[in-house]
Chains A and B, each alone.
Chain A
Amino acid sequence: SWRPSPKRGHRAGVGTLCTMCGSACSVEVDLVDRQRAIYVRGSSLSPLNKGGLCALGASAVQFLYSPYRVRQPLRQTKKRGDRTGFKAISWKEAIGELGARLKKLYEEGKGHQVACLSGQRYTSLYELWSLFCGALGSSNLFAMPRETDGHSAVSQALFGHEGPFAFRLYRATGILNFGAEWADGWSSCAPMGRMYEEWVREVPGKGRTEIVHVSSRLSMSASKSNEWIPVKPGTEAALALGIAHVLIRENRVFRGVEEYEGYLNWIDSSGETRQGFRDYVLKEYSPDRVSGITGAPAAKIEELARWVASQPSPLVVWGSEGFGGPGFFHHEMAYVALNMLLGNFEDKGLCTFTPVTNSLKAAQGEESLAEERLDVAAGTSGLVGARSNSIYAFFEALAQGKGYPVDVLLVCEANPIYSMADAALVRDAWSKAGFTVAMTGFMDETALEADLILPTPVMLERWDDVTAVPGLPFALYGLSAPVINPLYDVKHPGDVVLQLAAMVGDETRRALPWKKYEDVLKAQVKFIADQGIGAVSDDKTDFSHLEPDKTPKKNYRNAADLLKKLKKGSLWYAPVASTSQFVKTETGKPRFFASVLENAGMGLEKPELLMPHFLALQSSGSEQEYPLLLVAYGVSYISSGYFPNSPLMMKNLWDFELKGNDGFIGVNPATAKELGLAEGMSVVVETPQGKARARVHLSPAVSPGLIAAVKGLGHWAYDEYLADKGLRVTELTEVQLDPVTALGVERVTRAKLVRA
């Protein structure tokens, strides 16, 4: 037959939860004769996506039936990275070999020489890894970098509680946005789409929510906002401080802010008077000076501050200035401080924290058993040490051979070899790891480089859960139940961890007593049901009505009933968490300075180091050699994480992103003219990190002097529908380690364009 004829059968939908990202969208999967999954639609059982879905979620069945799935365990028999060297082995052999290695390390007291990198974060699977690593004696557990990584150190410093920050977005009447690309994948795709619909809906008595977007590149989010304030790359935080200056100067700040420690001048433990945030900002961040840093006119800064002050419910949100991943500690502090000035961290304010629902806790005493984390031992960590998810600092220590060796590196459902910036560092670190294991559903770039591949089932074939959605101001729990049987000889990573725990030793057996991963999730559900609070969402639930003092009516009977409801894709949720529940400072109020830094001896000579302040761009390479700045940006229709673009997503790429196999670099028309470049011309993009060929796309969305490339293209694994297509921008981008958190911060990288 020259065209396939789809197999006939009865089509019917089954509910579950999408777990391809952590956004907790309920979905309905259409099955034919309960065997073949053919279509995924959003379901209104989650008030977050309310029936909407993103391009990745709509592609779920393409990943399920993708030709690049791993169908059985594979062992590399030749040199690492040799595609011809993979040999199919049995699960018994695979787990046997890995378990024996771990057991040996554990028995020799070298459990800390095992490291794990997880693609998931707010799930029970991550908590299981945490228990396993702890019992093994390793603190080398990391999650892939994410924007909220920066929240934990800042919130710990200012509130005494480790974030993530949460925002009551639907309550805001005016949003001042510093690079949170909400229409391009910030936070979550489909739920943010629903939020946007709320913002622009005309409701009598409530005007539309106005959005002002501050960034260096005109993204879709900027284009959709009421106003776009273009600034020089990486200077958004300075603008935030300039606005703080005007608000303070004109006395338009929340009255109670004077009670916050460090707002007014204060006396430190040695009896010395220290400058408070108020005087510091008044002195250092005048609109004129900020205008010089950011390029935004001083009058505009004054106007923005007055606009913010005139809003009944103003909210400041921030992303990592459009670059993806976490931002700088001191910059994040600036955005938080601006919200504090607006009174948003008071109870019933627009900012709070996301509670995490988790009953899996390590037994006492295990922390003391663990050796220091590698980056801490090697001295590449930041001031907050192992409290930070500083995977880049870990890779740096590993690459430089500092600290101690890493004998086993486990990567669970993540693709660091492809998707992390500063690809050369990641490769270098990888080559130093003794034995590398990729637990993955797909033959991705990381799998290609692994010594052992343990195939995992994909969504629709497996159990998963969501223990929190960072950014949401209330506790939430969701379950994703399998809707079809696994197609191949695969094993859930949770079940693999439990099997390994049973093999390794007493400590791991004690910490992970469950028989199968499903039991872990049932324990989580029972934990919630035993508390007897919260409610289960249905298609009428509206999260925008949630208030701290309004308790939703309990609508489940017991754990079994709760499990049954969650399995269909409903979400369990609790009332909005008020800020005061979380704040653990001595005064019970937020503060404007980071005491953690004071304890570390910072800020004695330079008091501003304790406070929110602006860090000028540091980038390797000289301006003479690299006169341009490169930004790698994300868009909602290209996936740049563990999942690649599906074949049907590839249809949607613009022909200024990909043409044939050629990738593109966006250049401002004025810059291009100066360089003698025209649309479509071939160039070599060169940065201190590396070089790559691309074609020129003239784009007025990019500011003069900046060049821009989209993330998520240029794969070399997978299949002919994906491989070798477009610019692999992670080969070019630089990562800077934040001095406080040691988080790898992506900003702009110095670059030049040479005609090819």
Chain B
Amino acid sequence: MSGKQHNGEHGHGKGSVRYGMVIDLDKCTGCMACAVACHQENNVSFLPDETDKTRNIAWMRMYYLENGRDYPEYRFAYLPRPCFHCDSPHHTPCTFVCPVNATQRDERTGIVNMIYPRCIGCRYCMVACPYHARCFNWWDPRWPEPMEEMLNPEVSTRMRGVIEKCTFCHHRLNRARDKARIEGRDPDGVEYTPACVEACPTGAIVFGNLMDPESEVARLSKDPRAFQISAKLKTYPKVYYLSSQPWVRKLSDKGL
């Protein structure tokens, strides 16, 4: 739970960039704009029945937190959950188990990627992820006519039989890096904004380089309100949460 994790010491090559996120659960009012923006931006497919959460696909998924009390002491909160892009030593839980190197942790950015054409659909990574961040394409994705028109050309659609998950909108990072190169700036450590962060109307989601001590995301990750989900697993998520509610913080050890 300390801020010491993101100094490149987890057996990774030393770099100066670890993209990460802080989500303020006090500020989150559960409008779900982040999820819609994410799924729109990343061509996430949808099904006629989206209610089976073990079969549907969501990169930004909402979790419902309750304080366990009765009326009128009952309180609830929402927890938006992207991929945590874990920073644990040598490998994240998901990349470690992949037999075909279809998912890797980018040493320069800390982003855990998916290479869809390599994926053989064994779903080991799905099992290994303690945060249920990975979804499997049980069916061919289908957009009813003419909805294919809204697909984003910067993100490939995924085929039946492969795993997919949040990428921290890394196509946006690539675009920002290209722009930096063209402008003669250093492409490493460029700033960019994932779709969920952009949409959030309460400013509850902050994104940036955790290793830049000047960044807001680094500052907030060391806030007394900051915590990680299931920190005891030592997966070192690069997504931190903030809450002033003791009951919310208490739930963080219970997993998702």
Binding site for B on A (CB under 8 A): 2-9, 11, 30, 32, 36-42, 49, 51-55, 57-59, 61-62, 64-67, 183, 189-194, 196-197, 200, 218, 220-221, 223-224, 228, 230, 487, 635-637, 646-655, 658-661, 668-670, 700-704, 719-721
CB-contact partner of B153 in A32, A702, A703, under 8 A: A32
B39 lies within 8 A of A651 (CB): yes
B90: interface (CB < 8 Å): no
Q: Is the CB of B153 within 8 A of A7?
A: yes
Contact for A653 among B51, B77, B140, CB less than 8 A: B51
B30-A54 in contact (CB<8A)? no
**Bound CA span A669–B70, Å:** 8
CB contacts (< 8 Å) of B74 on chain A: these are 218, 700-701
Task: Name B43's closest neighbour in chain A (CB-CB).
Answer: A6
The residue in chain A whose Cβ has the minimal distance to the Cβ of B49 is: A660
Cα distance, A64 to B156, chains bound together (Å): 21
Cross-chain contact B31 with A55 (CB below 8 angstroms) = yes
| Pick from B29, B58, B71: contact of A183, CB under 8 Å | B29
* Alpha-carbon gap, A221 to B78, bound state (A): 12
Chain A proximity mask over B140-157: 1 for CB below 8 Å, otherwise 0: 110111111111111111
Assess whether B201 is in contact with A58, with CB atoms less than 8 Å apart.
no
Given the interface contacts A4-B157, A42-B201, A66-B147, does A223 sit within 8 Å of B40 by beta carbon? no
Contact at B37–A721, with CB atoms within 8 Å? no
A39 CA to B169 CA in the complex, in Å?
A: 14
Contact of A65 with B147 in the complex, beta carbons under 8 Å: yes
Out of B30, B39, B199, which one reaches A53, CB within 8 Å?
B199
Cβ–Cβ < 8 Å partners of B53 in chain A: 655
State whether B51 touches A36 (Cβ < 8 A): no
Residues of B participating in the A interface, judged by any CB pair closer than 8 Å? 26-27, 29-33, 35-37, 39-41, 43-44, 46, 48-53, 56, 58, 62, 64, 66, 69-72, 74-78, 140-141, 143-160, 195, 198-203
- Closest Cβ of chain B to A162, distance in Å, is 30
B147 touches A62 (CB 8 A): yes
Q: Are B157 and A6 in contact (CB under 8 A)?
A: yes
Contact B151 A38 (CB under 8 A): yes
Q: Quick check: A652 and B150 within 8 Å, CB to CB?
A: no
* Also in contact, A3 and B71, with CB within 8 A (given A37-B150, A53-B201, A653-B50): no
For A654, what are the chain B residues with a Cβ–Cβ distance below 8 Å?
Answer: 62, 64
Closest to B145 in A: A67
Q: Closest 4 CB pairs between A and B?
A: A52-B201, A193-B201, A6-B151, A700-B74
Determine if A651 and B154 form an interchain contact, defined as CB atoms under 8 angstroms apart: no
Do the beta carbons of B150 and A36 come within 8 Å of each other? yes
The residue of chain A having its C-beta at the shortest distance from the C-beta of B75 within the complex is A223
Whether A197 touches B202, Cβ cut-off 8 Å, given contacts A2-B140, A651-B56, A700-B71, is yes
State the Cβ distance, A443 to closest chain B Cβ, in Å. Answer: 13
A32 to nearest B CB, angstroms? 6
**Can you report 26 A-B residue pairs in the complex whose CB atoms are below 8 A from each other?**
A3-B140, A3-B159, A4-B151, A38-B40, A39-B37, A39-B40, A52-B201, A53-B37, A54-B201, A55-B36, A58-B33, A59-B36, A61-B150, A62-B147, A193-B29, A194-B202, A200-B27, A218-B71, A636-B30, A636-B31, A646-B36, A651-B39, A651-B46, A651-B58, A652-B32, A700-B69
- Identify which of B39, B155, B157, B202 contacts A193 (C-beta below 8 A): B202
- CB-CB under 8 A for A650 and B150, given A3-B159, A5-B157, A197-B202: no
Task: Evaluate contact between B69 and A719: CB separation under 8 angstroms.
Answer: no
How far is A661 from B52 in the complex, measured between Cα atoms in Å?
Answer: 11
| Chain B residue contacts of A719, Cβ below 8 A | 144
CA distance A220 to B26 in the complex (A): 11
Q: Inside 8 A of A183's CB, which chain B residues have their CB?
A: 29-31
Contacts of A196 in B (CB 8 A): 27, 29, 202
A58–B46 CB distance below 8 A: no
Distance from B114 Cβ to chain A, minimum over Cβ atoms (Å): 15
Given A183-B29, A194-B201, A703-B71, check contact A62 B149 (CB 8 Å).
Answer: no
Task: Please tell me if the beta carbons of B31 and A4 are within 8 angstroms of each other in the complex.
Answer: no
* Complex CA distance for A200 and B200, rounded to whole angstroms: 16
Which residues of B have CB within 8 Å of A230? 71-72
> With A2-B160, A54-B201, A200-B26 in contact, do A9 and B32 touch (Cβ < 8 Å)?
no
CA distance A53 to B200 in the complex (A): 7
**Could you tell me if B37 and A41 are in contact, using CB atoms closer than 8 angstroms?**
yes
Q: How far is the CB of A713 from chain B (nearest CB, A)?
A: 11
Using A647-B46, A648-B44 as known contacts, say yes or no to A67 and B147 having CB atoms under 8 A apart.
Answer: yes
A67's closest neighbor in chain B, by CB?
A: B144
Specify which chain B residues have a CB less than 8 angstroms from the CB of A62 in the assembled complex. Answer: 40, 147, 150
Q: Give the shortest distance, in Å, between A712 (CB) and chain B (any CB).
A: 13
The verdict on A189 contacting B31 (CB below 8 Å), with A223-B75, A487-B146 known, is yes
- Closest-by-CB residue of A relative to B199 is A53
Contact residues in A for B64 (Cβ distance below 8 Å) = 654
Q: Does A636 contact B29, Cβ atoms closer than 8 Å?
A: yes
| CA of A39 to CA of B151, assembled, Å | 9
A162 to B39, CA, bound (A): 43
Contacts of A40 in B (CB 8 A): 40
Q: Are B71 and A701 in contact (CB under 8 A)?
A: yes
Complex Cα distance, B36 from A54, in Å, reads 9
Given contacts A62-B150, A65-B149, contact A53 B71 (CB under 8 A): no
Residues in A whose Cβ lies below 8 Å from that of B70: 669-670, 700
How far apart are the CA atoms of A644 and B229 in the complex, in Å?
34
Within the complex, what minimum Cβ distance (angstroms) separates A627 from chain B? Answer: 18
Shortest distance in angstroms between A434's beta carbon and chain B's nearest beta carbon?
A: 36
- A67 cross-chain contacts in B, Cβ below 8 A: 144-147
> A2 near B159 (CB under 8 angstroms)?
yes
Of chain B, the residue at the smallest CB distance from A231 is B72
Shortest A388–chain B CB gap in Å is: 32
A704 to B18, CA, bound (A): 49
Which residues of B lie under 8 Å from residue A32 when comparing CB positions? 153
Contact B48 A38, beta carbon cutoff 8 Å: no
Question: What's the Cα separation between A670 and B71 when bound, in Å?
Answer: 9
New A-B contacts (13) at CB < 8 Å, excluding given A648-B46, A653-B50:
A2-B160, A4-B157, A6-B157, A7-B151, A37-B150, A38-B153, A51-B198, A53-B33, A58-B37, A193-B201, A194-B203, A636-B29, A660-B49
Q: Which among A11, A49, A61 is the interface contact of B154 at CB below 8 angstroms?
A: A11
- Verify B62–A652 contact, CB threshold 8 A: yes
Report yes or no: A720 in contact with B48, Cβ–Cβ below 8 A. yes
